[in-house]
């Protein structure tokens, strides 16, 4: 648990959030009860394939109601990425929706590695991809009973149909920071098996130089 706590704190410091003068109470709380099905799951998904974001640990204090709201909000962000990146009908060529809840810097990095962060590299060999299981576990840093940072540990298993048929799995972590009324992914560490071949990055516009 201490390793998870250290990771969350380090991620928040990297994101540039100022915690000076705030006390977390140096208190870790473990929770297995605060969970919510996120809205990003497909309408036909059952309990086995719909992500249930679950608060695993809290550094600081966060009331039960706050944990429920956090699980729903962050779970929705994670689900939106998973659904737009890996699941549904294929082939497709536009993955911009997958990174709608990423910060500009994280989105650029993700667009530069579409083979890892989406199904872009295998899209032309797929007809569809359906989740067989997914889970989202949250490690939370709270200050003054409000969440200020989250590390989401993600595990998505899915089956592909088409010329390429078989199981795929995406695992890893997303680091999120508050953004207005929602949350943004500012860093990620993702692995997929089997590894997809490299996919070309999305083209970026080059500003015209002044005459």
50 within some domain: yes
200 within some domain: no
| Position 4 pLDDT exceeds 70 | no
Residue 176 neighbours by CB under 8 Å, 6+ apart: 74, 77, 149, 150, 151, 152, 183, 184, 185, 186
Asked whether 34 and 67 are in contact (CB, 8 A), the reply is: yes
| Position 20 pLDDT exceeds 50 | no
Query: What is the Cα–Cα distance from 191 to 187, expressed in whole angstroms?
Result: 14
Asked whether 28 and 58 are in contact (CB, 8 A), the reply is: yes
* Averaged pLDDT of the chain: 82
pLDDT digits 0-9 by tens, 139-176: 999 999 999 999 999 999 999 999 999 999 999 999 99
186 within some domain: yes
Please give the pLDDT value at position 201: 60
pLDDT digits 0-9 by tens, 79-137: 999 999 999 999 999 999 999 999 999 999 999 999 999 999 999 999 999 999 999 99
Q: Say whether pTM exceeds 0.85.
A: no
Measured from the Cβ of residue 87, the count of other Cβ atoms closer than 10 Å reads 23
Domain that holds residue 105: 2-17+26-193
| Position 5 pLDDT exceeds 50 | no
198 within some domain: no
Say what the alpha-carbon torsion angle 140, 143, 147, 153 is, to the nearest 10 degrees.
-10
65 within some domain: yes
210 within some domain: no
109 within some domain: yes
205 within some domain: no
| Position 23 pLDDT exceeds 50 | no
How many folded domains does the chain comprise? Answer: 1
């Amino acid at each position: 648990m201490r390793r998870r706590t250290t990771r969350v704190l380090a991620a928040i410091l990297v994101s540039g959030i100022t915690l000076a003068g705030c006390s977390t109470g140096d208190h870790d709380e473990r929770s297995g009860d605060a969970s919510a099905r996120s809205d990003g799951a497909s309408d036909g998904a059952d309990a086995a394939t719909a992500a249930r974001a679950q608060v695993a640990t809290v550094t600081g204090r966060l009331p039960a109601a706050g944990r429920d709201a956090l699980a729903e909000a962050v779970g929705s962000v994670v689900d939106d990425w998973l659904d737009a990146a890996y699941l549904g009908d294929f082939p497709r060529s536009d993955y911009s929706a997958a990174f709608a809840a990423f910060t500009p810097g994280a989105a650029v990095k993700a667009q530069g590695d579409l083979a890892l962060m989406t199904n872009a590299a295998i899209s032309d060999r797929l007809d569809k991809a359906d989740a067989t299981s997914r889970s989202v576990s949250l490690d939370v840093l709270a200050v003054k009973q409000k969440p200020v940072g989250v590390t989401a540990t993600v595990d998505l298993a899915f089956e592909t149909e088409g010329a390429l048929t078989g199981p795929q799995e995406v695992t890893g972590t997303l680091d999120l920071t508050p953004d207005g009324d929602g949350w943004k992914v500012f860093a990620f560490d993702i692995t997929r098996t089997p590894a997809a071949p490299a996919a070309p990055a999305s083209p970026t516009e080059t500003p015209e130089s002044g005459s």
